[in-house]
Chains A and B, each alone.
Chain A
Amino acid sequence: MTASPGAPLSAAAPSGGALVARPKGVGGGRRASPLQRSGRIAILVVVIGYLGLPLFAMLEFSTRGNYGSRSLDSYAAMLNNQDLIDGVTTSLQIAVLTVVGMLLLLVPTMVWTVVRVPRMRRVVEFLCLLPLAIPAIVLVVGIGPIYRWMGQHLGAVGASPLTLAFIDIVLCLPFAYRAIDSSLRSIDSATLADASRSLGAGWPRTIFQVILPNIRAGVLSASVLAIALVLGEYTISSLLSFNTLQVAIYLLGGRDPFISVAVSLSALVFAFILLIVIARVGGGGRRDQREVEEPAT
């Protein structure tokens, strides 16, 4: 902090630091002109319309009753459709397995890379981003024989749709990597790990008690992305002949489009609620982010 000549100097706190909160709005930019504000509102309306109209159309379609009335029969019928219930159950189980597998694979690997072998960071990043460049169909063609072999030789386990979690872990790597990486970059992981270890902690304790709590937001984001990806994944499940949520919705669409659309809308709302809940949980521990400066001189 600097003081202009002649200005009174603020006293340093006895503990050695005058705590100074950064004033709100500092560096916040210029006040927008009326034209700019109108432009922003117009963009907002277009975006909301673009995203909201299909949802509204789905709601309108799925609640159509007889003779122009409104009905929730399609939503009630969802609960009685065993194929659909199986698909939802399977997808949720795959989502849980995918999140757990992805976190177990990615978090220790990324922390280890950042802390111990930073030169490998680019390699890990490249490997994690690779699935973005591989179309799902190519992945299925490549991995299909393995699934066939698993189905023939590993019995019920090999034929289980839960094995899709292996592919989904690979598919969600690019998104999960980015989310966790940005969290890891926001803290000095290497120094924190050194500090923890110098105080007597081993690696597991360092990762779980020091690193993980400080990248919680990234881990939660990665989990949300993984769940969203699993719930929305259709191509691979369909080509490998597994009944998941999206496959069930597709098949249902041929028989009863009203239920199919009701399920789609419900899945979107579920994902939306999940996002809000996880964002709340992720931000729950966020503390007052005051900026603190050194004592005034």
Chain B
Amino acid sequence: MTVASPAIASNGHGVGVTFEDMHRWYGSVHALNGLSIDIAPGEFIALLGPSGCGKTTALRALGGLDEVDQGRILVGGKDVTNVPTNKRNMGIVFQAYSLFPNMTARDNVAYGLRLRGVDTAARKKKAEEMLELVGLGAQASRYPHQMSGGQQQRVALARALAIEPSVLLLDEPLSALDAKVRRGLREEIRRIQIMIGITTLFVTHDQEEALAMGDRVGVMSAGRLEQIAAPTELYDRPKTRFVAEFVGLTNRIPGTAASGSVTILGTNVPLLDGSANSGPVFALVRPENIRVVATQDGSARVVAVSFLGSLCRAQVTLPDETLVVAQMSASEAGDLQPGTSVRVSVLPSPVFAVAD
């Protein structure tokens, strides 16, 4: 991969962004319901949530492509709520391919510079630098229809960065790409973002992408921000039932809660804040926190084993017919086969519990 020129790399200052109690209605649908987020300068925030949760509405509001009915948006401390999109200086990469079909890759990247009055030679040089940055220096003269989807999104990224935007907005830019291209491009986006130091808001419904890329990940549901935290905290210490159930795989294992802990499969496990904390509950346990050991006198039985490369997932039925999924290294899985009798236990990591 080409290394960026010093001119590009030196743009290492992001601005802070604040969403203040934002509301947006579409008819009776409350798309944003009191959304408030503080984004630090240079931070990469991933907004994660199911379709219709309001994450794209939030991004479009920040980009000026959608209005908000209530609330404020501050960029670098300045209120931009009513600033039109063409005056906001935001770089946006869209989910749909958005390159201008009548322009070459170079002209696409130079478009924003032309609007800013940059002279021909300078904008050509900058456009080619940006295309080098995304590894497409040799494709500058190609039209969008002569490029693959991944290449088009790279050019779109170069185009968004060429104008040296105050904030980079990524609206599910990888969702139309196949898995391998998506993985490669997400690492590249993150590398460039860290190198440039630009404040970035990334919207996705793909958990893996959000957790892999974000400095912090915000989980949204029904227009509300359920939780925003570093990926590990979000995964290990969900604060709401929605986050616990939405992020990652979980097993619902029945148990009895009392005094801040829950007893499941014979192990006393601490409860996370916000959990149901008394009486019969369902503990939401991550597959990697379930241990399965093959034994002749085991009361549980393996139903299926999935090989995932370095990891294995085993589906196991407990004596009460509850189906749980356990995840382990391929070596730990050993000779687990469907029908193997096993003993199942739970690691004492804190869990979230729900009453129903």
Interface residues of A (CB under 8 A from B): 14-19, 187-188, 191-192, 194-202, 205, 210, 213-214, 285, 287-290, 292-295, 297
Q: Interface size (B, Cβ < 8 Å)?
A: 47
Most A Cβ at <10 Å: residue of B115, B149, B160: B115
Instruction: Report whether B100 and A214 are in contact in the complex, using a CB–CB cutoff of 8 Å.
Output: yes
A169 to B146, CA, bound (A): 38
Would you give the 0/1 interface string for B88-122, flagging 1 where the beta carbon is closer than 8 Å to chain A? 11111010111111100000000110011000000
Number of A-B residue pairs, CB cutoff 8 Å, is 109
Residue of A nearest to B66 (CB): A194
Most central of A194, A200, A297 by chain B CB within 10 Å: A200
Please, which residues of chain A bring their CB within 8 A of the CB of B184? Answer: 16
Decide yes or no whether B315 CB sits under 8 A from chain A. no
Q: How far is the CA of A289 from the CA of B147 in the complex (A)?
A: 11
B139 interfacial contact with A, CB 8 Å: yes
| A120 shortest CB reach to chain B, Å | 15
A199–B178 CB distance below 8 A:
no
**Extra pairs beyond A210-B102, A287-B145, A292-B146 (16, CB < 8 Å):** A15-B135, A15-B138, A16-B148, A16-B154, A17-B151, A188-B98, A197-B65, A197-B86, A198-B90, A200-B87, A201-B86, A205-B115, A214-B101, A295-B148, A295-B180, A297-B178
Would you give 5 A-B contacts (Cβ < 8 Å), ordered by A? Answer: A15-B136, A17-B150, A198-B92, A292-B147, A292-B148
Q: Which 3 A-B pairs have the closest CB atoms?
A: A17-B148, A199-B112, A213-B102
User: Is B94 touching A297 in the complex (CB atoms < 8 A)?
Assistant: no
- B143 contacts the other chain (CB 8 A): yes
Assess A15 versus B139: contact at CB under 8 Å? Given A214-B101, A292-B148: yes
Contact B65 A198 (CB under 8 A): yes
A200 touches B148 (CB 8 A): no
Q: Which residue of A lies closest to B98 (CB)?
A: A195
Verify if B256 is at the interface (C-beta below 8 Å from A): no
Q: Please determine whether B100 and A192 come into contact, CB atoms closer than 8 angstroms.
A: yes
Interchain CA distance A82-B116 in the complex, whole Å:
55
